Chain A
Amino acid sequence: MYYQYSPDRLSTCPLTIHALLHIADSIEASGPMWAYWAFPTERHCGSLTPAIRSRRFPFPSIDRYLTEVAQLRQIKMYHRLHDELSLEPPKHDVAGMLSDPGCKYQISRRDMQILI
Protein backbone atom coordinates (compact mmCIF):
# COMPACT_ATOMS: atom_id res chain seq x y z
CA MET A 1 0.00 0.00 0.00
CA TYR A 2 2.82 2.37 0.84
CA TYR A 3 6.18 0.69 0.15
CA GLN A 4 4.97 -1.34 -2.85
CA TYR A 5 8.18 -3.44 -2.73
CA SER A 6 9.93 -0.74 -4.72
CA PRO A 7 13.60 -0.07 -3.85
CA ASP A 8 13.05 3.63 -4.60
CA ARG A 9 10.35 3.80 -1.96
CA LEU A 10 12.53 2.29 0.79
CA SER A 11 12.29 5.44 2.87
CA THR A 12 8.72 4.42 3.79
CA CYS A 13 10.22 1.61 5.86
CA PRO A 14 12.28 3.17 8.66
CA LEU A 15 13.07 1.27 11.84
CA THR A 16 9.92 2.64 13.49
CA ILE A 17 7.73 0.52 11.18
CA HIS A 18 9.81 -2.55 11.88
CA ALA A 19 9.72 -1.91 15.64
CA LEU A 20 5.93 -2.43 15.62
CA LEU A 21 6.67 -6.12 15.15
CA HIS A 22 8.43 -6.18 18.53
CA ILE A 23 5.62 -4.59 20.54
CA ALA A 24 3.85 -7.85 21.40
CA ASP A 25 7.12 -9.44 22.58
CA SER A 26 7.89 -6.33 24.60
CA ILE A 27 4.58 -6.50 26.45
CA GLU A 28 5.30 -10.09 27.44
CA ALA A 29 8.92 -9.45 28.27
CA SER A 30 8.72 -6.08 30.01
CA GLY A 31 5.08 -5.33 30.85
CA PRO A 32 2.47 -2.92 29.47
CA MET A 33 3.54 -0.03 27.25
CA TRP A 34 2.59 2.67 29.76
CA ALA A 35 5.06 1.26 32.29
CA TYR A 36 8.03 2.36 30.19
CA TRP A 37 6.98 5.07 27.81
CA ALA A 38 8.76 8.41 27.80
CA PHE A 39 5.93 10.70 28.92
CA PRO A 40 7.24 11.07 32.52
CA THR A 41 10.75 11.59 31.19
CA GLU A 42 9.61 14.36 28.87
CA ARG A 43 7.75 15.94 31.74
CA HIS A 44 10.96 15.99 33.73
CA CYS A 45 12.78 17.63 30.82
CA GLY A 46 10.02 20.23 30.72
CA SER A 47 10.63 21.09 34.36
CA LEU A 48 14.34 21.59 33.70
CA THR A 49 13.89 24.34 31.12
CA PRO A 50 12.64 27.00 33.59
CA ALA A 51 15.39 25.92 36.01
CA ILE A 52 18.02 27.41 33.72
CA ARG A 53 18.76 30.82 35.20
CA SER A 54 21.99 31.51 33.41
CA ARG A 55 22.33 31.62 29.68
CA ARG A 56 26.08 31.40 29.95
CA PHE A 57 26.24 28.46 32.36
CA PRO A 58 23.06 26.49 31.69
CA PHE A 59 24.38 23.14 32.86
CA PRO A 60 25.62 24.17 36.34
CA SER A 61 22.28 25.92 36.65
CA ILE A 62 20.41 22.65 36.02
CA ASP A 63 22.68 20.79 38.44
CA ARG A 64 22.06 23.32 41.19
CA TYR A 65 18.30 23.04 40.69
CA LEU A 66 18.37 19.24 40.81
CA THR A 67 20.49 19.23 43.97
CA GLU A 68 18.20 21.68 45.72
CA VAL A 69 15.06 19.76 44.77
CA ALA A 70 16.63 16.52 45.96
CA GLN A 71 17.67 18.10 49.26
CA LEU A 72 14.22 19.52 49.87
CA ARG A 73 12.70 16.14 49.11
CA GLN A 74 15.03 14.41 51.56
CA ILE A 75 14.25 16.90 54.30
CA LYS A 76 10.53 16.47 53.74
CA MET A 77 10.84 12.72 53.84
CA TYR A 78 13.23 12.42 56.76
CA HIS A 79 11.57 14.94 59.05
CA ARG A 80 8.04 14.12 57.89
CA LEU A 81 7.45 17.70 56.83
CA HIS A 82 5.57 16.90 53.68
CA ASP A 83 2.60 19.17 54.42
CA GLU A 84 4.59 21.98 56.00
CA LEU A 85 7.09 22.26 53.17
CA SER A 86 4.66 21.58 50.38
CA LEU A 87 4.43 24.16 47.65
CA GLU A 88 0.92 23.05 46.76
CA PRO A 89 -2.13 24.75 48.30
CA PRO A 90 -2.69 22.99 51.66
CA LYS A 91 -5.38 20.32 51.87
CA HIS A 92 -6.08 21.03 55.53
CA ASP A 93 -5.08 23.66 58.09
CA VAL A 94 -1.41 23.85 58.81
CA ALA A 95 0.02 25.55 61.92
CA GLY A 96 1.22 29.04 61.07
CA MET A 97 -0.98 29.33 58.01
CA LEU A 98 -2.55 32.64 57.08
CA SER A 99 -5.72 32.14 59.05
CA ASP A 100 -6.71 32.73 62.62
CA PRO A 101 -10.12 32.23 64.20
CA GLY A 102 -9.79 35.71 65.75
CA CYS A 103 -9.14 37.37 62.47
CA LYS A 104 -12.06 39.08 60.82
CA TYR A 105 -10.80 38.69 57.30
CA GLN A 106 -10.17 35.01 56.99
CA ILE A 107 -8.73 33.74 53.79
CA SER A 108 -10.79 30.91 52.45
CA ARG A 109 -9.09 27.91 50.96
CA ARG A 110 -10.29 28.96 47.54
CA ASP A 111 -8.77 32.41 47.81
CA MET A 112 -5.63 30.80 49.07
CA GLN A 113 -5.43 28.68 45.94
CA ILE A 114 -5.83 31.75 43.81
CA LEU A 115 -3.18 33.59 45.81
CA ILE A 116 -0.71 30.76 45.53
Chain B
Amino acid sequence: MYANPTKAKELQYRAFEHMYTPGKISDIFDSHIYRRLLGKRVTIDGSNPTHEYFSDPRDIAFGLSTDGFCPFRRRKATAWPLILFDYNLAPEIRFHGDNRIDLGTIPGPNKPKDFNSFAWPAFEEFMRLQHGVRAFDVLADEFFLLRGYLLLVFGDIPAMSMVMRMTGHTGFSPCRMCKILGVRIPNSQNNTHYVPLDRSFHPTVTESDSAIAIYDPADLPLRTEEEMLCQAREVKSASSKAQNARLSRAYGINGISIFSNLKSLCFPLSFPYDFMHLIWENLIPNLISLWTGEFKGLDEGVGEYQLNPKVWQAIGEATVAAGSTIPSVFGARPPNPASHKASYSAEAWSFWTLYLGPVLLRRRFRHQRYYKHFIQLVKLLQMCLEFEITTEEVQIIRDGFINWVENYEQ
Protein backbone atom coordinates (compact mmCIF):
# COMPACT_ATOMS: atom_id res chain seq x y z
CA MET B 1 0.00 0.00 0.00
CA TYR B 2 2.80 2.40 0.86
CA ALA B 3 4.46 1.64 -2.46
CA ASN B 4 1.65 3.43 -4.27
CA PRO B 5 1.95 7.22 -3.98
CA THR B 6 -1.80 7.95 -4.10
CA LYS B 7 -2.59 5.32 -1.49
CA ALA B 8 0.36 6.32 0.69
CA LYS B 9 -0.94 9.88 0.82
CA GLU B 10 -4.47 8.73 1.60
CA LEU B 11 -3.12 6.67 4.48
CA GLN B 12 -1.81 9.78 6.21
CA TYR B 13 -5.27 10.71 7.46
CA ARG B 14 -4.84 9.21 10.92
CA ALA B 15 -1.57 10.92 11.73
CA PHE B 16 -1.78 14.21 9.88
CA GLU B 17 -5.33 15.09 8.97
CA HIS B 18 -7.45 14.03 11.90
CA MET B 19 -7.24 16.57 14.70
CA TYR B 20 -7.96 15.53 18.25
CA THR B 21 -9.92 18.10 20.23
CA PRO B 22 -10.57 17.16 23.85
CA GLY B 23 -14.29 16.95 24.55
CA LYS B 24 -15.19 16.11 20.96
CA ILE B 25 -15.63 12.71 19.35
CA SER B 26 -15.56 12.72 15.57
CA ASP B 27 -13.71 9.49 14.76
CA ILE B 28 -12.33 6.40 16.47
CA PHE B 29 -9.09 8.33 17.08
CA ASP B 30 -10.91 10.36 19.74
CA SER B 31 -12.01 7.21 21.53
CA HIS B 32 -10.74 5.64 24.72
CA ILE B 33 -9.63 2.39 23.07
CA TYR B 34 -7.30 4.30 20.72
CA ARG B 35 -6.03 7.00 23.05
CA ARG B 36 -5.22 4.60 25.88
CA LEU B 37 -2.66 2.96 23.58
CA LEU B 38 -0.80 6.16 22.67
CA GLY B 39 2.61 6.32 24.33
CA LYS B 40 2.23 2.74 25.55
CA ARG B 41 4.80 0.08 24.73
CA VAL B 42 3.58 -2.77 22.58
CA THR B 43 3.46 -6.04 24.52
CA ILE B 44 3.59 -9.29 22.65
CA ASP B 45 3.44 -12.55 24.59
CA GLY B 46 4.72 -10.88 27.73
CA SER B 47 7.90 -9.56 26.09
CA ASN B 48 8.35 -5.82 25.65
CA PRO B 49 9.63 -4.71 22.26
CA THR B 50 10.95 -1.17 22.14
CA HIS B 51 8.29 0.46 20.01
CA GLU B 52 5.14 2.22 21.15
CA TYR B 53 1.64 1.93 19.70
CA PHE B 54 1.04 4.24 16.74
CA SER B 55 4.39 6.00 17.23
CA ASP B 56 5.05 5.88 13.46
CA PRO B 57 2.54 7.89 11.39
CA ARG B 58 2.47 4.89 9.06
CA ASP B 59 1.20 2.50 11.75
CA ILE B 60 -2.21 1.28 10.70
CA ALA B 61 -5.36 1.00 12.82
CA PHE B 62 -7.51 -1.92 11.72
CA GLY B 63 -11.12 -2.82 12.36
CA LEU B 64 -12.38 -6.36 11.75
CA SER B 65 -15.94 -7.16 10.87
CA THR B 66 -17.84 -10.36 10.36
CA ASP B 67 -21.42 -11.36 9.76
CA GLY B 68 -23.30 -14.52 8.85
CA PHE B 69 -25.00 -14.33 5.49
CA CYS B 70 -27.09 -16.76 3.48
CA PRO B 71 -25.87 -17.19 -0.09
CA PHE B 72 -29.10 -18.88 -1.12
CA ARG B 73 -32.60 -17.81 -0.42
CA ARG B 74 -33.92 -21.33 -0.17
CA ARG B 75 -31.14 -22.99 1.73
CA LYS B 76 -30.07 -22.55 5.28
CA ALA B 77 -26.34 -22.51 4.50
CA THR B 78 -24.42 -19.57 5.92
CA ALA B 79 -21.01 -18.17 5.15
CA TRP B 80 -19.02 -15.86 7.41
CA PRO B 81 -16.90 -13.30 5.57
CA LEU B 82 -14.05 -11.68 7.51
CA ILE B 83 -13.40 -8.13 6.40
CA LEU B 84 -10.73 -5.73 7.52
CA PHE B 85 -11.19 -1.97 7.39
CA ASP B 86 -8.26 0.40 7.32
CA TYR B 87 -8.97 3.31 9.66
CA ASN B 88 -5.88 5.24 8.54
CA LEU B 89 -7.93 6.30 5.54
CA ALA B 90 -10.27 9.27 5.74
CA PRO B 91 -13.83 8.35 6.85
CA GLU B 92 -15.31 9.13 3.43
CA ILE B 93 -13.17 6.55 1.64
CA ARG B 94 -12.32 3.93 4.24
CA PHE B 95 -15.43 1.84 3.65
CA HIS B 96 -15.21 1.91 -0.16
CA GLY B 97 -15.08 -1.43 -1.89
CA ASP B 98 -11.56 -0.82 -3.13
CA ASN B 99 -10.25 -0.12 0.35
CA ARG B 100 -11.80 -3.14 2.00
CA ILE B 101 -9.36 -5.90 2.81
CA ASP B 102 -11.14 -9.23 2.40
CA LEU B 103 -9.45 -11.74 4.63
CA GLY B 104 -11.62 -14.56 3.35
CA THR B 105 -14.91 -16.24 3.98
CA ILE B 106 -15.46 -18.99 6.49
CA PRO B 107 -17.40 -21.54 4.44
CA GLY B 108 -20.71 -23.01 5.55
CA PRO B 109 -23.07 -24.66 5.45
CA ASN B 110 -22.88 -24.64 9.25
CA LYS B 111 -21.94 -21.86 11.61
CA PRO B 112 -18.28 -22.25 12.65
CA LYS B 113 -18.16 -24.26 15.84
CA ASP B 114 -14.64 -23.28 16.76
CA PHE B 115 -14.13 -19.73 15.54
CA ASN B 116 -10.59 -19.61 16.95
CA SER B 117 -9.45 -22.25 14.48
CA PHE B 118 -10.80 -20.27 11.53
CA ALA B 119 -9.38 -17.00 12.81
CA TRP B 120 -5.91 -18.49 13.32
CA PRO B 121 -4.37 -17.40 9.98
CA ALA B 122 -5.66 -13.85 10.52
CA PHE B 123 -4.44 -13.90 14.10
CA GLU B 124 -0.95 -14.94 12.97
CA GLU B 125 -0.81 -12.04 10.57
CA PHE B 126 -1.94 -9.59 13.23
CA MET B 127 0.85 -10.87 15.48
CA ARG B 128 3.37 -10.36 12.69
CA LEU B 129 2.00 -6.88 12.01
CA GLN B 130 2.53 -5.93 15.66
CA HIS B 131 6.23 -6.74 15.29
CA GLY B 132 6.42 -5.06 11.89
CA VAL B 133 6.69 -6.24 8.32
CA ARG B 134 9.28 -4.90 5.88
CA ALA B 135 7.63 -2.58 3.37
CA PHE B 136 8.58 0.22 1.03
CA ASP B 137 7.41 3.78 1.54
CA VAL B 138 7.36 5.59 -1.79
CA LEU B 139 6.89 9.03 -0.25
CA ALA B 140 9.95 8.84 1.97
CA ASP B 141 11.77 6.59 -0.55
CA GLU B 142 12.86 4.11 2.10
CA PHE B 143 12.19 0.66 3.50
CA PHE B 144 10.52 0.60 6.88
CA LEU B 145 8.76 -1.70 9.31
CA LEU B 146 5.05 -1.54 8.60
CA ARG B 147 3.03 -2.11 11.75
CA GLY B 148 -0.67 -2.52 12.23
CA TYR B 149 -2.88 -3.00 15.25
CA LEU B 150 -6.38 -4.37 15.52
CA LEU B 151 -8.49 -1.85 17.40
CA LEU B 152 -12.09 -2.85 16.81
CA VAL B 153 -14.16 -5.90 16.02
CA PHE B 154 -17.77 -5.40 15.03
CA GLY B 155 -20.84 -7.09 13.63
CA ASP B 156 -24.25 -8.17 14.86
CA ILE B 157 -24.81 -9.79 18.25
CA PRO B 158 -24.57 -13.48 17.15
CA ALA B 159 -21.38 -12.76 15.20
CA MET B 160 -19.77 -11.01 18.13
CA SER B 161 -20.80 -13.79 20.52
CA MET B 162 -19.01 -16.17 18.18
CA VAL B 163 -15.82 -14.07 18.02
CA MET B 164 -15.73 -13.34 21.75
CA ARG B 165 -16.69 -16.93 22.61
CA MET B 166 -19.75 -15.88 24.56
CA THR B 167 -23.04 -17.72 25.03
CA GLY B 168 -25.11 -15.15 23.15
CA HIS B 169 -28.08 -12.88 23.43
CA THR B 170 -30.58 -15.43 24.71
CA GLY B 171 -28.37 -16.73 27.52
CA PHE B 172 -28.54 -16.28 31.27
CA SER B 173 -25.81 -13.62 31.20
CA PRO B 174 -26.48 -12.25 27.73
CA CYS B 175 -24.84 -8.83 27.64
CA ARG B 176 -21.24 -8.58 26.51
CA MET B 177 -20.76 -5.17 28.16
CA CYS B 178 -22.18 -5.89 31.61
CA LYS B 179 -23.09 -8.73 33.96
CA ILE B 180 -26.85 -8.16 34.01
CA LEU B 181 -28.67 -11.49 34.43
CA GLY B 182 -31.61 -12.60 32.35
CA VAL B 183 -34.93 -13.96 33.59
CA ARG B 184 -37.27 -16.33 31.76
CA ILE B 185 -40.97 -16.00 31.20
CA PRO B 186 -42.58 -17.97 34.07
CA ASN B 187 -44.27 -21.28 33.12
CA SER B 188 -43.27 -21.02 29.50
CA GLN B 189 -41.48 -23.25 27.00
CA ASN B 190 -39.53 -20.24 25.82
CA ASN B 191 -35.88 -20.68 26.72
CA THR B 192 -34.85 -17.09 26.06
CA HIS B 193 -33.70 -14.93 28.94
CA TYR B 194 -34.91 -11.36 29.00
CA VAL B 195 -33.23 -8.40 30.62
CA PRO B 196 -35.58 -5.76 32.04
CA LEU B 197 -34.00 -3.41 34.58
CA ASP B 198 -36.88 -3.95 36.98
CA ARG B 199 -37.85 -7.58 37.63
CA SER B 200 -39.18 -7.11 41.15
CA PHE B 201 -42.44 -8.94 40.35
CA HIS B 202 -40.70 -11.93 38.78
CA PRO B 203 -40.89 -15.24 40.71
CA THR B 204 -37.09 -15.68 40.73
CA VAL B 205 -36.85 -12.42 42.65
CA THR B 206 -39.86 -12.79 44.90
CA GLU B 207 -38.76 -16.31 45.88
CA SER B 208 -35.12 -15.57 46.48
CA ASP B 209 -33.29 -13.06 48.66
CA SER B 210 -30.10 -12.91 46.68
CA ALA B 211 -31.48 -12.08 43.22
CA ILE B 212 -31.25 -8.45 42.17
CA ALA B 213 -34.70 -6.90 41.85
CA ILE B 214 -33.84 -3.63 40.11
CA TYR B 215 -30.68 -2.77 38.21
CA ASP B 216 -29.53 0.84 38.29
CA PRO B 217 -29.18 1.84 34.61
CA ALA B 218 -26.63 4.53 35.53
CA ASP B 219 -24.47 2.03 37.37
CA LEU B 220 -24.64 -1.29 35.54
CA PRO B 221 -22.21 -4.01 36.67
CA LEU B 222 -19.80 -3.51 33.75
CA ARG B 223 -17.47 -6.28 32.64
CA THR B 224 -13.72 -5.71 32.72
CA GLU B 225 -11.08 -7.33 30.56
CA GLU B 226 -9.30 -8.89 33.52
CA GLU B 227 -12.45 -10.42 34.91
CA MET B 228 -13.59 -11.73 31.53
CA LEU B 229 -10.24 -13.43 30.97
CA CYS B 230 -10.31 -14.96 34.45
CA GLN B 231 -13.80 -16.30 33.85
CA ALA B 232 -12.87 -17.65 30.43
CA ARG B 233 -9.89 -19.51 31.94
CA GLU B 234 -12.07 -20.85 34.70
CA VAL B 235 -14.59 -22.16 32.16
CA LYS B 236 -11.83 -23.74 30.10
CA SER B 237 -10.22 -25.52 33.05
CA ALA B 238 -13.49 -26.74 34.53
CA SER B 239 -13.08 -30.20 36.04
CA SER B 240 -16.15 -31.77 34.46
CA LYS B 241 -18.61 -31.21 31.66
CA ALA B 242 -21.34 -30.26 34.11
CA GLN B 243 -19.07 -27.79 35.85
CA ASN B 244 -18.13 -26.32 32.48
CA ALA B 245 -21.78 -25.88 31.52
CA ARG B 246 -22.60 -24.35 34.90
CA LEU B 247 -19.78 -21.82 34.72
CA SER B 248 -20.33 -20.82 31.12
CA ARG B 249 -24.00 -20.24 31.84
CA ALA B 250 -23.23 -18.13 34.90
CA TYR B 251 -20.56 -16.03 33.18
CA GLY B 252 -22.01 -15.98 29.68
CA ILE B 253 -18.57 -17.02 28.44
CA ASN B 254 -17.81 -20.23 26.53
CA GLY B 255 -14.07 -20.09 26.29
CA ILE B 256 -11.00 -18.01 25.57
CA SER B 257 -11.11 -15.95 22.39
CA ILE B 258 -7.95 -16.10 20.34
CA PHE B 259 -8.10 -12.31 20.05
CA SER B 260 -7.55 -11.90 23.78
CA ASN B 261 -3.87 -12.37 22.94
CA LEU B 262 -3.86 -9.13 20.94
CA LYS B 263 -3.24 -6.48 23.54
CA SER B 264 -4.29 -3.70 21.18
CA LEU B 265 -7.85 -4.93 21.69
CA CYS B 266 -9.72 -4.20 24.87
CA PHE B 267 -12.42 -6.62 26.03
CA PRO B 268 -15.32 -5.85 25.88
CA LEU B 269 -14.97 -2.21 24.72
CA SER B 270 -13.39 -3.10 21.37
CA PHE B 271 -16.55 -5.05 20.52
CA PRO B 272 -19.20 -2.31 20.51
CA TYR B 273 -22.86 -2.89 19.75
CA ASP B 274 -23.65 -2.36 16.08
CA PHE B 275 -26.12 0.45 15.55
CA MET B 276 -27.50 -0.90 12.29
CA HIS B 277 -28.71 -4.24 13.64
CA LEU B 278 -29.54 -2.88 17.07
CA ILE B 279 -31.73 0.03 16.00
CA TRP B 280 -32.76 -0.34 12.39
CA GLU B 281 -33.23 -4.10 12.29
CA ASN B 282 -34.49 -4.73 15.83
CA LEU B 283 -35.70 -1.82 17.88
CA ILE B 284 -37.78 -0.02 15.23
CA PRO B 285 -39.40 -3.13 13.66
CA ASN B 286 -40.17 -4.35 17.22
CA LEU B 287 -41.80 -1.06 18.17
CA ILE B 288 -43.93 -1.19 15.03
CA SER B 289 -44.91 -4.80 15.78
CA LEU B 290 -46.01 -3.64 19.21
CA TRP B 291 -48.08 -0.79 17.75
CA THR B 292 -49.74 -3.09 15.26
CA GLY B 293 -50.39 -5.84 17.79
CA GLU B 294 -48.12 -8.33 16.05
CA PHE B 295 -45.51 -8.58 18.77
CA LYS B 296 -45.14 -12.21 19.85
CA GLY B 297 -48.87 -12.57 20.43
CA LEU B 298 -48.94 -9.99 23.21
CA ASP B 299 -51.98 -7.81 23.83
CA GLU B 300 -51.39 -4.28 25.05
CA GLY B 301 -51.97 -5.13 28.70
CA VAL B 302 -52.78 -2.00 30.64
CA GLY B 303 -51.13 0.14 27.95
CA GLU B 304 -52.83 1.94 25.08
CA TYR B 305 -50.16 1.80 22.44
CA GLN B 306 -51.85 -0.18 19.68
CA LEU B 307 -52.86 1.66 16.54
CA ASN B 308 -56.14 1.01 14.84
CA PRO B 309 -55.36 -1.24 11.80
CA LYS B 310 -56.95 1.32 9.51
CA VAL B 311 -54.78 4.08 10.94
CA TRP B 312 -51.67 1.99 10.36
CA GLN B 313 -52.80 1.21 6.82
CA ALA B 314 -53.29 4.92 6.14
CA ILE B 315 -49.81 5.63 7.50
CA GLY B 316 -48.48 2.98 5.14
CA GLU B 317 -50.19 4.58 2.17
CA ALA B 318 -48.99 8.04 3.19
CA THR B 319 -45.44 6.66 3.35
CA VAL B 320 -45.68 5.38 -0.21
CA ALA B 321 -47.23 8.65 -1.42
CA ALA B 322 -44.36 10.59 0.16
CA GLY B 323 -41.95 8.63 -2.01
CA SER B 324 -42.81 10.69 -5.09
CA THR B 325 -41.81 13.99 -3.52
CA ILE B 326 -38.66 12.93 -1.69
CA PRO B 327 -35.41 13.86 -3.49
CA SER B 328 -33.49 10.72 -4.42
CA VAL B 329 -30.39 11.82 -2.47
CA PHE B 330 -32.24 10.81 0.68
CA GLY B 331 -32.20 7.20 -0.44
CA ALA B 332 -34.44 4.63 -2.06
CA ARG B 333 -38.20 5.12 -2.28
CA PRO B 334 -39.69 3.84 1.00
CA PRO B 335 -41.97 0.78 0.62
CA ASN B 336 -45.31 0.50 2.40
CA PRO B 337 -44.53 -0.47 6.02
CA ALA B 338 -48.07 -1.81 6.51
CA SER B 339 -48.17 -4.22 3.59
CA HIS B 340 -44.49 -4.71 2.64
CA LYS B 341 -42.76 -4.78 5.98
CA ALA B 342 -40.46 -7.60 4.88
CA SER B 343 -38.97 -5.52 2.09
CA TYR B 344 -37.83 -2.84 4.52
CA SER B 345 -34.04 -2.61 4.71
CA ALA B 346 -32.11 -1.07 7.56
CA GLU B 347 -31.59 2.02 5.43
CA ALA B 348 -35.33 2.30 4.74
CA TRP B 349 -36.15 1.97 8.45
CA SER B 350 -33.60 4.63 9.22
CA PHE B 351 -35.19 7.06 6.77
CA TRP B 352 -38.72 6.24 7.88
CA THR B 353 -37.91 6.66 11.58
CA LEU B 354 -35.92 9.86 11.29
CA TYR B 355 -38.00 11.72 8.71
CA LEU B 356 -41.41 10.15 8.09
CA GLY B 357 -42.41 8.55 11.39
CA PRO B 358 -42.48 11.74 13.47
CA VAL B 359 -44.86 13.40 10.98
CA LEU B 360 -47.07 10.42 10.18
CA LEU B 361 -47.53 9.22 13.74
CA ARG B 362 -48.48 12.61 15.16
CA ARG B 363 -51.90 12.44 16.84
CA ARG B 364 -52.31 8.86 15.72
CA PHE B 365 -51.89 7.16 19.11
CA ARG B 366 -54.80 6.97 21.47
CA HIS B 367 -52.56 8.39 24.13
CA GLN B 368 -50.08 11.16 23.39
CA ARG B 369 -47.43 9.81 25.75
CA TYR B 370 -46.58 7.08 23.22
CA TYR B 371 -45.93 9.66 20.53
CA LYS B 372 -43.78 11.75 22.90
CA HIS B 373 -41.84 8.63 23.88
CA PHE B 374 -41.16 7.87 20.20
CA ILE B 375 -40.04 11.46 19.51
CA GLN B 376 -37.66 11.27 22.45
CA LEU B 377 -36.12 8.21 20.80
CA VAL B 378 -35.85 9.91 17.40
CA LYS B 379 -34.05 12.88 18.96
CA LEU B 380 -31.57 10.56 20.67
CA LEU B 381 -30.97 8.62 17.46
CA GLN B 382 -30.36 11.85 15.53
CA MET B 383 -27.79 12.82 18.12
CA CYS B 384 -26.06 9.43 17.90
CA LEU B 385 -25.74 9.87 14.15
CA GLU B 386 -24.04 13.25 14.21
CA PHE B 387 -20.56 13.34 12.74
CA GLU B 388 -19.16 15.13 15.74
CA ILE B 389 -20.38 14.39 19.24
CA THR B 390 -19.37 16.46 22.25
CA THR B 391 -18.93 15.14 25.78
CA GLU B 392 -22.06 17.04 26.82
CA GLU B 393 -24.03 15.35 24.05
CA VAL B 394 -22.75 11.93 25.17
CA GLN B 395 -24.15 12.74 28.61
CA ILE B 396 -27.50 13.74 27.04
CA ILE B 397 -27.53 10.46 25.10
CA ARG B 398 -26.70 8.51 28.26
CA ASP B 399 -29.40 10.18 30.39
CA GLY B 400 -31.84 10.14 27.49
CA PHE B 401 -31.61 6.39 26.89
CA ILE B 402 -31.81 5.67 30.63
CA ASN B 403 -34.98 7.73 30.78
CA TRP B 404 -36.34 6.19 27.59
CA VAL B 405 -35.77 2.59 28.73
CA GLU B 406 -37.24 3.31 32.16
CA ASN B 407 -40.36 4.76 30.55
CA TYR B 408 -40.51 1.82 28.15
CA GLU B 409 -40.57 -0.60 31.07
CA GLN B 410 -43.08 1.38 33.14
Q: Which residues of A contact B (CB under 8 A)?
A: 1-45, 47-49, 52, 55, 58-59, 62-63, 66, 69-70, 73, 77-78, 80, 82
Contact in complex: B71, A49 (CB < 8 Å):
yes
- On chain A, the residues within 8 Å of B394 by CB distance are 24, 27-28
- On chain B, the residues within 8 Å of A17 by CB distance are 195, 283, 405, 408
| Stretch in B41-49, B116-124, B153-161, B238-246 touching the partner | B153-161
Contact in complex: B408, A21 (CB < 8 Å):
no
Other-chain residue from B102, B195, B369, B401 in contact with A69 (beta carbon distance below 8 A): B102
Contact in complex: B387, A32 (CB < 8 Å):
yes
Interface size of B by Cβ–Cβ distance < 8 Å?
A: 115
Q: A26-B273, A37-B276, A41-B155 are in contact. Are A9 and B298 (CB under 8 A)?
A: yes
**Residue on A with the closest CB to B369?**
A1
Contact in complex: A66, B102 (CB < 8 Å):
yes
Q: Which of A12, A55, A78 has the most CB of B within 10 A?
A: A12
Closest 7 CB pairs of A and B: A24-B398, A59-B107, A31-B28, A40-B95, A45-B69, A13-B196, A31-B31
Contact in complex: B272, A29 (CB < 8 Å):
yes
Q: Would you give 9 A-B contacts (Cβ < 8 Å), ordered by A?
A: A13-B194, A24-B401, A38-B67, A41-B66, A62-B107, A63-B107, A77-B4, A77-B7, A82-B6
Other-chain residue from A13, A23, A42 in contact with B401 (beta carbon distance below 8 A): A23
| Stretch in B198-206, B229-237, B356-364 touching the partner | B198-206
How far, in whole Å, are A6 and B186 apart by their CA atoms in the complex? 11
What's the A-B contact tally at a CB cutoff of 8 Å?
Answer: 272
Q: Which of B30, B66, B102 has the most CB of A within 10 A?
A: B102
Judged by a CB distance under 8 angstroms, whether B220 is at the interface is: yes
Q: A22-B273, A44-B102, A48-B105 are in contact. Are A58 and B373 (CB under 8 A)?
A: no
Contact in complex: B274, A37 (CB < 8 Å):
yes
Contact in complex: A35, B91 (CB < 8 Å):
yes
How far, in whole Å, are A70 and B102 apart by their CA atoms in the complex? 8
Contact in complex: A36, B278 (CB < 8 Å):
no
- On chain A, the residues within 8 Å of B169 by CB distance are 14-16
- On chain A, the residues within 8 Å of B402 by CB distance are 21
Judged by a CB distance under 8 angstroms, whether B349 is at the interface is: no
- On chain A, the residues within 8 Å of B387 by CB distance are 32, 34
- On chain A, the residues within 8 Å of B203 by CB distance are 7
